[in-house]
Amino acid sequence: MTITDTPAPLAAADALTRQLLDRRSEPAESPQLEALALAVTANLPVLLWGEPGIGKSAGLERLALELGLPLETVIASVHEPSDFSGLPVVGDDPARDGVPMAPPAWAVRLAARGTGLLFFDELSSAPPAVQAALLRVVLERRVGSLELPPAVRIVAAANPPSSAADGWHLAPPLANRFVHLRWTHDPRTVARGMTGVWPAATMPLVAPDRVSTAIARARGVVSGFLTARPGLAHSLPEDAEGRGGAWPSPRTWEMVLRLLATAGAAGASAEASAAAVVGAIGDGAGLELLSYMEELDLPDPNRVLADPGAFALPERGDRQLAFLTAVVSAVRSEPSRRRWEAGWQVLAKAVEAGVPDVAARAATDLATMRDPGWPVPADIDAFVDLLRLSGALPGS
């Protein structure tokens, strides 16, 4: 027997283990897995929070398998800051060429493939210096002197500081770069998994014909809500635990905009969309936004542009602003003379309703889209003074 041979009793045991590891997946409703898939589809950094041993890593492995993406796992807590910022490599003439920062092997592999899932595990066990080094990786996608390809998705996992080994609260700048998802276990899913069957990730597939409407609606919703609730544009929690989670900032509102647009274009479930939105801006702002969206009920802006005379302007001011913002965004996504003129017909409804101030910002944005060869429509008359002051009207 050579040194590499496995003794017969252990070979049989290894064969048994391989059979136990032979698993399959089946379609099943899992809002938390769908929310993860939605955020990954939107290419936003995601952080899974959950107690040890409940399947965070396994859920990500299933997602990578469903996407057909290579998975690179990096245990953040066992690395030094230089592993993310890069190690200096001195060349022949550093005064002329500078000193490049060499990236680690996992970053080089991802760059060579051009795509993949980058998984930072045990994030809450990483000391503050390592968390600071990760800021550039998560936000700018740079590891040393290497820039990760845009198609690389970033996901992290963390245990609550109370149950993490040498746990730390996340620094606010790092926490504000993630969509935070609570990862829990379902006893029925675990029981089913013990039979060798686990739920498959339901991937939201973006439909190209829905993109324009989805973007327009998302812009209208977020802009209208922040106009009504300006105090939530940026709200840093007072306690360390809150600052280490999801909270509203201009950066996370950009995340919400992308999540809502992706969810709308992909037909994602309401449960998954809600979990992702709350994961970006926190419980308070997230629940307010979801309640606002339930009452808003925006019409399809592209249908309105197709027949601008057949709709009625909403009565509430915040709904009016959200709707007009959505209409202007729809024109921007597919500009043409017909759609641009239809946009002015829509804005004229606000003048007729006695609320031209609500349409003022939308009118300025719409005016900047004018092709020099398009004639000025009559519906613009109510906004002439405003547009001259803003410089959006030719000859002002």
Q: Is the pLDDT of residue 38 over 90?
A: yes
Strand-pairing partners, residue 166, are: none
Least trusted range by pLDDT, from 205-209, 318-322, 330-334, 370-374:
318-322
Q: Are the CB atoms for 298 and 323 separated by under 8 Å? A: yes
How many angstroms separate the CA atoms of 122 and 156, rounded?
Answer: 8
Q: Minimal CA–CA distance to 85: which of 69, 101, 99? A: 101
DSSP SS3 for 21:
coil
* pLDDT level of residue 261 (50, 70, 90 thresholds): very high
Residue matched to tokens 């996608």: 141
User: Which domains are assigned to the chain?
Assistant: 29-90+99-199 (3.40.50.300), 218-390 (no CATH)
pLDDT digits (tens, 9 = 90+) for 98-156: 666 778 889 999 999 999 999 998 888 888 888 888 988 998 899 988 899 999 999 99
DSSP 92-156: S-HHHH---EEPPHHHHHHHHHS-EEEEEESGGGS-HHHHHHHHHHHHH-EETTEEPPTTEEEEE
Report the C-alpha gap between 67 and 257 in whole angstroms: 23
Selection from 189, 97, 110 nearest residue 146 by Cα: 110
Are residues 77 and 165 in contact, defined by beta-carbon separation less than 8 angstroms?
A: yes
Determine the longest span between alpha carbons in the chain, in angstroms: 94
Sequence-separated (6 or more) residues with CB below 8 Å from residue 181: 32, 35, 36, 39, 46, 47, 48, 49, 275, 276, 279
pLDDT band at 396 (very low <50, low <70, confident <90, very high): very low
Residue 149, phi then psi, degrees to nearest 5: -60, 150
Question: Residue 340: what pLDDT?
Answer: 92
> For position 195, what pLDDT does the model report?
84
